[in-house]
């Protein structure tokens, strides 16, 4: 007779995967038109990046608050509540576009990011449903679910805009309505099928301590945790720094939108498409090893991009693909490190804090990348990215003992 608890965990993993696929579709549709909507509302491109920045800040804040609330309330109510908030925020964004209110759009995008942070935290919920030896693979599959959104979201833009205009609404209201339906649909889906609460089905291995005893400051001093933080935050900052300015570099070199689309599509492919393989590698060879490999791949990518002329499409396609792949390795490997050797409430608090640091680093990179490009140029931007990789390299070297090939790691 099959193990009923194992069947329940597989079902819950599938439900979590489906929810992330649905919400990522809505979020990517919303974030793609945010800058365009802002430009229409303000009549200038100067503030076009503010809605995306507001969303990122909301995601960072949501990561810490929702993770903390999960300790007390459980994962199911937090996920459902966060998705209802995000769906409502998307509807408010559609209203903001219709009423030409830029301030309301900023508020809506902040709230949308706050609710969407639950979607990012879902990878940890899936990991906890499996033994330590399989947690990286579980994270890889949840990250891969975002591939659905990266493909479906942009392809719904034209259709949703046309439907909105046909209904007497502003065109950019359409993608936000899609986002509202996606998040509210995911909330309803979880309400029906995410039973029991995944937090009640956490698999505890020998390396997982049951009793919490350490504050965040103490956890952040643990070698493996420092490796995770250094790899995740640095890779995300460097990725956003380069990715955000590559389309401008291409356009300034005479490339058309079709070339820009090819390069960014290659980047997105690198970020998500191989996630299941990354998970398998992490469980087979070790999470710190995969994170370190990710940083090495990022270094190769910035070397390629920084020395590529603007008309070298093939080289930039390769560079941006590797940039996404390096981020994928560092993000999944680092995330998996945060699922082992910790009491469950320590895990939740630490995961929320690290995710907040990751998203804030992305906001900082996004806001500074244009200034650096204008002041020094694209090669210097990549050189800066390469220099920043010295930070995780130093952490890896200082804590090289964490590269011992162990299946679990118990914190001191």
Listed residues 203, 234, 267: the one ending a domain = 203
232 in the same domain as 130: no
348 in the same domain as 254: yes
150-158: long-range contacts at Cβ-Cβ below 8 A with a sequence spacing of 24 or more?
A: 150/24, 150/28, 150/268, 150/271, 150/272, 152/25, 152/28, 153/24, 153/25, 153/26, 153/27, 153/28, 153/29, 153/32, 154/28, 154/29, 154/32, 156/25, 156/29, 157/29, 157/32, 157/33
Listed residues 142, 169, 203: the one ending a domain = 203
Number of domains composing the chain: 2
Instruction: Report pLDDT digits (tens) over 41-79.
Output: 888 767 777 888 899 899 999 999 999 999 889 999 999
246 in the same domain as 199: no
The verdict on residue 158 lying in a domain is yes
Q: Judging by beta carbons within 10 Å of its beta carbon (0-12, 13-18, 19+), is residue 8 exposed, middle or buried?
A: middle
143 in the same domain as 15: yes
pLDDT at site 387: 97
Is 60 exceeded by the pLDDT of residue 1?
no
The verdict on residue 409 lying in a domain is no
Q: Which two tokens stand for residue 317?
A: 């396609």
364 in the same domain as 332: yes
pLDDT at site 408: 44
Q: Judging by beta carbons within 10 Å of its beta carbon (0-12, 13-18, 19+), is residue 81 exposed, middle or buried?
A: middle
Q: Which two tokens stand for residue 315?
A: 């080289």
**C-alpha to C-alpha distance for 37 and 30, rounded to whole angstroms:** 10
The verdict on residue 110 lying in a domain is yes
Instruction: Report pLDDT digits (tens) over 355-407.
Output: 999 999 988 888 888 888 888 889 999 999 999 999 999 999 998 876 664 44
Q: What is the CATH number of the domain that holds 60?
A: 1.20.1250.20
Listed residues 181, 203, 225: the one ending a domain = 203
Instruction: Report pLDDT digits (tens) over 266-294.
Output: 888 899 989 999 999 999 999 999 999 99
Closest C-alpha among 237, 233, 205 to residue 339:
205
> In this predicted structure, which of 123-137, 151-165, 180-194, 276-290 has the lowest mean pLDDT?
151-165
pLDDT at site 263: 84
Preceding amide of 196 cis, omega within 30? yes
The verdict on residue 411 lying in a domain is no
**C-alpha to C-alpha distance for 399 and 223, rounded to whole angstroms:** 6
Query: If you ran DSSP here, which 8-state letter would residue 403 be given?
Result: G
301 in the same domain as 284: yes
**C-alpha to C-alpha distance for 274 and 269, rounded to whole angstroms:** 8
179 in the same domain as 120: yes
**Per-residue CA distances from 36 to 91, 105, 186 (Å):** 17, 12, 26
**C-alpha to C-alpha distance for 164 and 200, rounded to whole angstroms:** 42
239 in the same domain as 191: no
Radius of gyration in angstroms for the set of CA atoms belonging to the chain, rounded to a whole number: 21
pLDDT at site 29: 86
Q: What is the secondary structure of 331-373 as a DSSP string?
A: HHHHHHHTTSSS-HHHHHHHHHHHHHHHHHHHHHHHHHHHHHH
pLDDT at site 214: 76
pLDDT at site 205: 62
**C-alpha to C-alpha distance for 203 and 201, rounded to whole angstroms:** 6
266 in the same domain as 388: yes
The verdict on residue 157 lying in a domain is yes
247 in the same domain as 178: no
357 in the same domain as 230: yes
Domain span including residue 235? 210-403
Q: Which two tokens stand for residue 299?
A: 């270094």
The verdict on residue 410 lying in a domain is no
pLDDT at site 37: 86
399 in the same domain as 333: yes
CA 321 to chain centre: 17
Q: Which two tokens stand for residue 132?
A: 């330590």
């Amino acid at each position: 007779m099959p193990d009923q608890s194992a069947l329940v965990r597989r079902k819950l993993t599938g439900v979590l995967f489906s929810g992330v696929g649905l919400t990522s579709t809505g979020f990517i549709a919303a974030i793609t038109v945010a800058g365009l909507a802002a430009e229409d509302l303000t009549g200038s491109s100067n503030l076009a990046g503010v809605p995306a920045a507001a969303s990122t800040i909301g995601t960072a804040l949501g990561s810490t608050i929702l993770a903390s609330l999960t300790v007390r309330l459980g994962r199911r109510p937090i996920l459902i509540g966060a998705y209802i908030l995000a769906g409502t925020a998307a509807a408010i964004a559609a209203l903001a576009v219709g009423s030409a209110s830029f301030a309301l759009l900023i508020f809506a995008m902040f709230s949308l990011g706050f609710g969407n942070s639950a979607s990012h935290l879902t990878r940890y919920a899936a990991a906890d449903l499996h033994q330590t030896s399989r947690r990286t693979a579980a994270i890889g599959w949840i990250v891969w679910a975002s591939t659905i959104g990266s493909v479906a979201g942009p392809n719904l833009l034209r259709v949703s805009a046309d439907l909105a205009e046909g209904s007497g609404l502003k065109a950019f209201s359409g993608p936000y309505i899609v986002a509202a339906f996606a998040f509210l649909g995911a909330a309803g889906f979880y309400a029906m099928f995410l039973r029991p609460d995944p937090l009640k089905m956490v698999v505890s291995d020998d390396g997982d301590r049951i009793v919490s005893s350490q504050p965040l400051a103490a956890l952040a001093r643990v070698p493996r945790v420092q490796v995770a933080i250094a790899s995740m935050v640095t890779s995300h900052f460097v990725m956003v720094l380069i990715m955000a300015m590559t389309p401008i570099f291409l356009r300034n070199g005479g490339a058309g939108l079709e070339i820009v689309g090819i390069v960014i599509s290659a980047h997105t492919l690198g970020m998500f498409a191989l996630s299941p393989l990354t998970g398998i590698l992490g469980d087979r060879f070790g999470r710190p090893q995969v994170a370190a490999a990710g940083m090495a791949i990022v270094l190769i990518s910035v070397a390629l991009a920084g020395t590529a002329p603007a008309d070298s499409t093939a080289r930039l396609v390769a560079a941006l693909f590797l940039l996404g792949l390096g981020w994928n390795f560092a993000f999944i490997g680092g995330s998996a490190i945060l699922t082992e050797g910790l009491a469950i409430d320590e895990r939740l608090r630490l995961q929320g804090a690290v995710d907040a640091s990751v998203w804030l680093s992305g906001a900082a990179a996004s806001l500074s990348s244009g200034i650096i490009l204008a002041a020094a140029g694209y090669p210097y931007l990549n050189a800066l990215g390469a220099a920043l990789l010295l930070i995780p390299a130093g952490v890896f070297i200082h804590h090289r003992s964490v590269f011992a090939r162990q299946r679990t790691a118990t914190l001191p």
